[in-house]
Structure 1
Amino acid sequence: MGSSIVLGILWHFVGAASAACFYAPLKKVRNWSWETMWSLAGLFSWIILPWTVSWILLPDFGAYYSSFSLSTLTPIFLFGAMWGIGNINYGLTMRYLGMSMGIGIAIGITLIVGTLMTPIIQGKFSVLTSTTGGQITLLGVFIALVGVGIVSYAGLLKEREMGIRTEEFNLKKGLVLAVFCGIFSAGMSFAMDAAIPMHQAAAGLGISPLYVALPSYVVIMGGGAIINLAYCFIRLATRKDLSVRADFSLAKSLLFANACFAILGGVMWYLQFFFYAWGHANIPAQYSFVSWMLHMSAYVLCGGIVGLLLKEWVGVSRKPVSRLCLGGLVIILAANVVGLGMAS
């Protein structure tokens, strides 16, 4: 397996670890509505950081973006908005199915859709099925899906043992939302593929291959930001039980702490895609679609590890923990199989 591929897999795991940890600081926010907290975190994650990083990287910020036609930017923006819809559905999926079942179904669907739809759309799927490297890569994707399922099952066993129940459990509604979440969340994978002309233009300006994808985040995350912020602002404006004025009438010390935790969560959420770009740059072009599979499966793996480190599994019997470890090993195996396929 080439060193570049190993680095690509490693950076995808680093990004996934950041994604798995991002909600930890948000849990420290007190006496704020979820909408206010999510809006502030998102402001940094989807707008401030992508624009700031791009401003630093590009020799002429305005000239770079004005060089692209609307026909190029529109699908990138719309796929970003699609990803934004998936973000909202993700939260609602957890609400109606609980964490374990929701994550298993949603991540499983987005892993398959985001990974395999890109080569299908590009007309390259036959290459995967007719070459040894492609077949090994597809096997790795399947193994990753199995690993996600095992980790999710471990989480379900944990919830049952600890008596955790979602108060608004609704299987029918939750399954519909999980399917929509899985499909729409794959918009990030589609957006990255549509943004290849932007990556090439950034490379033409002398930007390092590790960073060429980052300027496209201004457009991609701009689409996601509009969806998420609109959802939050509409709820804050229309729900009588929510009030921005009440959120910001707290003591100054608490306001400062809440703002810091929300911003930190937003920074960590952005860093997942910062390192996703690094990982993506080290994956061979013909297998670029595998980046999404590596990111999503590593996200589930890192989520389990973070849960263990935060002692969320203390008091749980050996069976759920052993299933969690087994699922993690299967996901690691999947990453290695995919790496071998790409190197073949």
Structure 2
Amino acid sequence: MDIIILGVLLHFIGGFASGSFYIPYKKVRGWAWESYWITGGLVSWLIVPLIAAQLTVPGWADILRQAAPSTLAWTYLFGVLWGIGGLTFGLTMRYLGLSLGMSLIMGLTSALGALMPPLYRDLFTDDSTGTLSAMCTNLGGQCVLIGVAVSLVGIALCGRAGFIKEREVPDSTKFQSVSEFALGKGLLVAVISGVLSASFSYGITAGRPLAAAAVEHGANSLFQNNVTFMVIMWGGLTTNGLWCLWLNWRNKTFHNYRDRSTPLLANYLLVACAGTLWFLQFFFYGMGESRLHNDASSWVLHMSFIIIVSNAWGLYFKEWQGTSKATKGLLLAGILVILAAITLVGYGNYLS
């Protein structure tokens, strides 16, 4: 029981980091979005994962050199896909804000993270266990499928609240909390982000041999995923780096990095803080998963805490100021439905 409590606590810390990481970005002044996103990304996808591996996994470089090319390739590929999800995640925060954006993305990611692996096994493998058709015939699988359907209802409620918010709130208030609020763009990128962000979970699964090698090299099992995280993060850095550098070129914003008319030191410290928080969500996620020994349940638990924390911050920053009680109630109902769906998905995986 103590191990389970520790695992839940670690997931809460990771969820808090994820739900909070975008706050320092809101304080950056005078930089284009692409400039602060990729600068923070260098911290979260390159520097901090390297430091974490260096401190916690003896011989991490040897583990990578000796790993099977297929393991590295699949882990990196899922990182690339997750990177696209992370890129559109940043755009979602930019257009929708913390509460609505996080709720939509996390609901989709949780549902797809549970549904896609069994669908893949059904279509492309000869494995008769853990498939979508098998899920339909047992109680655990049926709970997962019901949870996925319920999550879509919650997402629809949150989206409906967003549409009403756009009508109710005057532009002066709307753009005060989310300076570039755009519901149409935000919903589109939220769907893309939610679909592809689940690839991080697939990357952890593909990198299982790296985690096993880390333990064999003497790493504490709490930190067994830190080498895997490095490879996934490299994939994320690839997609985000290419996109942001292209935006720098198109928008002529390369000067941001040395523009002394902006608070350069403060901006760099803020993006470093944001990038560190971004990585810490997975650092603590990896530790929590190592104690619960159930990747699917860990994933949905992580999503739950992110939704709770991000919406608490959204209320704190008054993103829904000026909306009616009915609209706030609709948003709250959507969030509660998503949390109920995540609980169903987690319980279904536990039964399975």
Taking a change above 3 Å as real, the CA distance of residues 23 and 313 of structure 1, as seen in their structure-2 partners, is same
| Counterpart position of 1:162 | 169
Listed as ranges, the matches of 1:155-234 within 5 Å are 155-163=162-170, 164=174, 171=184, 177-234=189-246
| Counterpart position of 2:311 | 304
Q: Which one-letter code corresponds to 1:205 in the other structure?
A: H
Q: Which one-letter code corresponds to 2:283 in the other structure?
A: F
* CA-to-aligned-CA distance 1:51-110 (integer Å, 9 cap, x gap): 110011122232121110212101111110111122223345567x74587666654443
Percentage of pairs with the same residue: 36
| Counterpart position of 2:260 | 250
Taking a change above 3 Å as real, the CA distance of residues 147 and 211 of structure 1, as seen in their structure-2 partners, is farther
2:283 counterpart of 1:274: yes
| Counterpart position of 1:66 | 65
2:271 counterpart of 1:259: no
| Counterpart position of 1:326 | 333
> 1:230: how far off?
1.8
Listed as ranges, the matches of 1:5-16 within 5 Å are 5=4, 7-16=6-15
> 1:157: how far off?
3.1
| Counterpart position of 2:20 | 21
How many aligned positions are there?
Answer: 336
2:259 counterpart of 1:237: no
CA RMSD between the two structures: 3.1
> 1:301: how far off?
3.2
Taking a change above 3 Å as real, the CA distance of residues 43 and 17 of structure 1, as seen in their structure-2 partners, is same
Q: Which runs of 5+ in 1 are unaligned?
A: none
> 1:227: how far off?
1.3
- Conserved 8 A contact 1:214-1:274: yes
Taking a change above 3 Å as real, the CA distance of residues 209 and 136 of structure 1, as seen in their structure-2 partners, is farther
> Segments of 4+ in structure 1 off by > 6 A?
165-168
Q: Which one-letter code corresponds to 1:196 in the other structure?
A: R
- Conserved 8 A contact 2:104-2:155: no
TM-score relative to the length of structure 2: 0.82
| Counterpart position of 1:294 | 301
- Conserved 8 A contact 1:11-1:279: yes
> 1:176: how far off?
5.8
Q: 1:271 & 1:170 partners in 2: Cα distance?
A: 29
- Conserved 8 A contact 1:104-1:152: no
Q: Which one-letter code corresponds to 1:131 in the other structure?
A: N
TM-score relative to the length of structure 1: 0.83
1:129 to 103, 125, 136: 136
Q: Which one-letter code corresponds to 2:259 in the other structure?
A: S
Q: 2:35 & 2:72 partners in 1: Cα distance?
A: 29
Q: Which runs of 5+ in 2 are unaligned?
A: 122-126
